[in-house]
Amino acid sequence: ADAWRLLREDFDIDSVHISLEKCSPVGAGLGGGSADAAFTLMGLNDIFSLGLSLEQMADYASRLGSDCAFFIYNKPCFASGRGEILEPIELPLDAYRFEVFVPQGVQVSTKEAYADLVRRPQQKPDDVSLKELLLQTPVERWRNLIVNDFEASVFPKHPEIKALKDDFYARGAVYASMSGSGSAVFGMFLK
């Protein structure tokens, strides 16, 4: 509804009935609500033949939520600002398979996660940006270099989430991390 209202401010579009079947669990840090908003914008763009470019849709999406624009591009992006400034990047991940686990009955409040957030010092050379580190470092070395800052505040409250990350590494993941502010955890394995 918010996506339709936003486009309605600039375009003479008819009312629509949208039926949404949620497949992403709420509170898992997978951006389910943001993805829904972004794909609704893209659907409305198609239905009404608005002719919006990816950049224009990303601009609308960023007005709906900080990370909504990410789902417009639907590919790896380097995010800055509140997550609304996106730069698509080429990140070769074809050699990896991904596993995502969402613990049953565990929800992490994004608001609480941000309130408890403690940014850790960057474990990288001072003359290298995070984007350069991501693009130039083999995935196998990300483990100690690329860390989700939310883990430091979420893991003590939800040790079962940390246990999931540890389990991914125990099973041979080359990289594992909590997704967003949690509770989902993903692991990357060589194919």
End-to-end CA distance of the chain: 40
Let me know if the fold of 2-88 is the same as that of 96-190: no
What size, in residues, is the chain? Answer: 191
Q: How far apart are CA 11 and CA 5, in angstroms?
A: 10
Q: Could you tell me which of 176, 181, 179 has the C-alpha nearest to residue 157?
A: 181
At 125 the pLDDT is 56
Q: What is the CATH number of domain 96-190?
A: 3.30.70.890
| Whether the model pTM is above 0.85 | no
Instruction: Go through 110-148 and write b for each residue having 16 or more CB atoms within 10 A of its CB, e for each that does not.
Output: eeebeeeeeeeeeeeeeeeeeeebbeeeebeebeeebeb
At 141 the pLDDT is 93
At 89 the pLDDT is 92
Residue with tokens 């409250």: 157
| CATH topology assigned to domain 2-88 | Ribosomal Protein S5; domain 2 (3.30.230)
Q: 155-162, long-range: CB within 8 Å, 24+ apart, which pairs?
A: 157/116, 158/106, 158/108, 158/182, 158/183, 160/103, 160/106, 161/103, 161/106, 161/108, 161/185
Domain ranges of the chain: 2-88, 96-190
At 126 the pLDDT is 60
At 8 the pLDDT is 96
pLDDT mean for each 10 residues of the chain (191 residues): 94 91 79 90 97 95 90 88 85 94 88 79 64 90 90 93 98 96 95 96
User: Which tens digit of pLDDT belongs to each residue from 21-58?
Assistant: 877 777 788 888 889 999 999 999 999 999 999 999 99
DSSP-assigned states of every residue in 17-49: -------SPTTSSS-HHHHHHHHHHHHHHHHTT
